[in-house]
Amino acid sequence: MAITFLFCLFLGRFFYIQVIWREQLQYLALDQWTREIPVNAGRGNIVDRNGEVLAGNSPAYTVYARANAVKEKEGAALVLSEALSMPYEEALSRLADRSRSEITLAKRVQKSVAERIEGAGISGVYYARDEGRLYPHGALACQILGFTSYDGAGTTGIEGKYEAYLAGTPGEILQETDLVGVELEGSAAAYRPAIDGLNVRLTLDYRIQALAEDVMGRALSSSSAKAARAVVLDPTDFSVLAMVNLPSYDLNDIPREDISALNALTRNSVVSDIYEPGSTFKIVTAAANIEEGLRGNPSAIPLEHIYSSSRTRLVDGTTIRCWSDHKNGKHSNQTLADALNNSCNPCFVDIALALGKETFYSYLDAFRFGRATGIDFAGEAIGMLLPSSIVQDCDLARIGFGQTIAVTPLQLACAAASAVNGGLYYAPRLVRELYSEDGAVHEEIPAKLLGRTVSEEASRILSTMLEGVVRDGSGKKAFIEGFHVAGKTGTAQKYENGVIAQGKYVSSFVGYFPASSPKYLALVILDEPQGSYYGSTVAAPCAKEIFEGIIEIEGLRPVEETI
């Protein structure tokens, strides 16, 4: 019985070694008798919607050594120190280091340097491809593209978000060696090729991106503003055509040593930072009122209603005033269209209070305030929206004209786009597809409809009014003859430590064209401009320049000529 048990025990052990443990033992044996030279995969490019390379690669190489296989260390150290601009003593010390089977001597060296080392015929020294990242347009879209680490891995922006696709799969060259790592004479090397990473095609158009950055850069300088931001969307599906954050930095010269500057300059504020939108938010309030009126809600204020001429509203003991000095009869006989033209705060206080908290908050939710837009980019903020359970009438009144609520620029741009495109809300996107070098599409990222905000009819009525704002009202400096630009200005006071910061404003304008069938929408923001600070005088002209540039780039004709 004991003999039978021992026999079964040995048989089981034999089976375990020969069958179950077989692959691991083979790997250990192979690892003991071979040395691997890594073959790095080529990193995928990042291109704009038309194929323009925004992030590519420059040829570079990594130099390796196996101390056990280097025969004449002094001579080898001399060659390597000269070729790699490395101190001789350091090179010799590293070649004498037998604690590791393989030593990395230098990364991202030029091909001429690698060929010089190869030509010296040093035993035990090798090189392999290791491309460096190159950004042909320097600072263009730097916060969107992001950058890679010293090791070539994506860390921020699209580089980080799509690292798994861009990186590829490394290969290796296997060389037979003896137990101490010296190559066996006459042995053949086995080669496992690397699989290059996929290319990422963005929705960005580098021409529109460059245009928007140029316009906002000049505005930043002329207004001595703290920062300038802009986003250009295609309202038909929320593809991001441009996204601007200034000041910026050159992706080929990243300030890695200054962490504070690096964090500030690399932050995509359009997605990650929040602000009080001010009067641009009146688009949402107007849209909600128009829609409720079409639905027959008696609480909605009729479009032909004449608002009170009073320049103030008293809510919960708090006096809410309009921005204007109210001269020239600006508060006389105002309809909703007039209120948008004049950007009259009390009119939108009336709307918010008339609709009531429950109804108004249902629209805030539909427009996705207080939650993410769903953009394919890391670090999106959700904004700040008071819970409906604690909102008082005075809060609701201020939300109606863009105070007591904080949004990201992207949230506001998407809300405006939905309000005027027929009421459809899409997830904004920066990436269109992933494809290999041969052009084969690995994955297509389609537009994603998230819901409806208002009806087509409400959207059409609102757009007609917003065209009037540019034609006759506060947005006149965005007017372009024949292209039916529509939009809304905004000038919001900034708060610091819970109180109004005197003399500090955020000036903005959100506009689009053509009004009847929007194809391009731009939100422009200048943070703390000096001198003139009204959105109508500072931001609206920037949007006009961007739209005029797009018209030239795309070769668009005035609407009247196409009829």
Active-site amino acid positions: 279
State in Å, rounded, how far the first CA of the chain is from the last one. Answer: 101
DSSP assignment of 244-261: EEES---TTS--TT-HHH
* Side-chain half-sphere CA neighbours of 546 within 13 A: 38
Contact between 382 and 370 under an 8 Å Cβ cutoff? The reply is: yes
Identify the bridge partners of residue 176 per DSSP, sorted by sequence position: 34
The CA distance from 509 to 491, in Å, is 9
Classified as helix, coil or strand, 211 is: helix
Who's near 289: CB < 8 A, 6+ residues apart?
A: 300, 301, 336, 351, 354, 355
Mark out the alpha helices in 502-558 (DSSP H runs): 535-538, 540-554
Structure tokens at 5: 């048990």
Structure tokens at 170: 């490394």
The CA distance from 394 to 507, in Å, is 24
Contact between 413 and 233 under an 8 Å Cβ cutoff? The reply is: yes
Classified as helix, coil or strand, 394 is: helix
Our CA angle for 77, 79, 81, nearest 5°, is 65
Contact between 513 and 484 under an 8 Å Cβ cutoff? The reply is: yes
Nearest CA-CA partner of 301 in 309, 292, 312? 292
β-strand 125-129 against 61-65: which pairing, if any? antiparallel
* Side-chain half-sphere CA neighbours of 176 within 13 A: 7
Contact between 466 and 515 under an 8 Å Cβ cutoff? The reply is: yes
The CA distance from 82 to 88, in Å, is 8
Residue with tokens 């506001």: 412
Amino acid in position 39: V
The CA distance from 260 to 262, in Å, is 5
Classified as helix, coil or strand, 364 is: helix
443 backbone dihedrals φ, ψ, rounded to 5°: -155, 130
